[in-house]
Amino acid sequence: MTKDKTICHPVPVLLEENPAPARQQKAAWIFKGSSAWCNCSWELWSKAAQKACGSWHRGKMNIQEYFARISYDGSHKDADLQTLTVIFQHHIQAIPFENLSMHCGETIDLDLQSIYNKIVRKKRGGWCLESNYLLFWALKEIGYDVCILGGNSYDPAEKAYTAHINHILLKVEIKGSPYIVDAGFGGAYQAWQPVMLISGKDQPQIPGIFCFREDNGIWYFEKVKRKHYISEQSVPTTNTTEMGNIRKIYSFTLKPRHIDDFQELNTYLQVSPDNILRKKSICTLQTTEGIYALVGWTFTEMKYNYMEDTDLLQITTLTDEEVEKTLKEKFNIVLENKLVPVNVRGLPPNIVDMI
């Protein structure tokens, strides 16, 4: 073999159109940037090619790989409501809502390939922009009629909806009926099923009763709250301002959006010091019974309907070492970079504090 040093990537050129068994086949290597050729055994080519070209194969997104990530092994040949509901539930019980990247010194890129690699291959979670964009891609792949919408979350401290869009959600049409599918709100305000887009109708689910209200083209998403019972074995929570039985979550219109409409928001959320996501490191995951939530060093486990109209909360304060262990054991997350937990206290009432 020549000693040419300009080798980059090996590309296999099969010597026979109908080759013999792979173990006995000979292959030729063409080295990009070089005139060097080498005849070698298939075994040697296979090892080197897998190492050099593996990233090409890993880069391609695949719906079956997504299904494996969410532990879904059912059929998806019919783009119906039943299939949508099961896939959605697998998604929210496998993919945490989390903002840990910004507290690990990592940049969050709002492009599909980066999100896919992070959530599907690295088994991370993501915030609404990431989780719902990934779900949008998956539903498109399956064959659903789905579009992106923009939402304005409700700020309890201001008693108003935000002036600018700060949330992404999905609308899916099935046999002429529209449903809101949102896998990216997290915490106790995460629906467990697609919610039919109809105004004024109570829609009970395990997490609670959800409802839409429409007024002059603006839709409002709300939830009926339940009482919280705090386990005697856990650390008591601080008192929060009572906000009534109805919890306003966000508003939205039916204007279709494109992911590029959220690029500026994605950047803002990562750099704005006043943003609550900068002041709290958050990781929440829906379970078969309720929620796991890790905010800073505080781990909360919520069980829905522990008693009639009452959810059970068990709250534990963790050490730094326990935070890392909890992320692995409860959320199946192993971070590549060091997490700096954050939980600024004394903020006005907000969704995170009301988990």
- Going by C-alpha positions, the residue among 93, 141, 101, 105 that lies closest to residue 117 is 101
> Is residue 91 within 8 Å of residue 126, measured between CB atoms?
no
Half-sphere exposure for 187 (CA within 13 Å, toward CB): 17
Q: Compute the distance between CA of residue 198 and CA of residue 326 in angstroms, rounded to an integer.
A: 39
Return phi, psi of residue 186, to 5°. 75, 175
The contacts of residue 327 (CB under 8 Å, 6+ apart) are 100, 283, 294, 333, 334, 335, 339
DSSP 261: G
Catalytic residue list = 128, 167, 182
Q: Compute the distance between CA of residue 6 and CA of residue 98 in angstroms, rounded to an integer.
A: 43
For tokens 């496998």, name the residue. 94
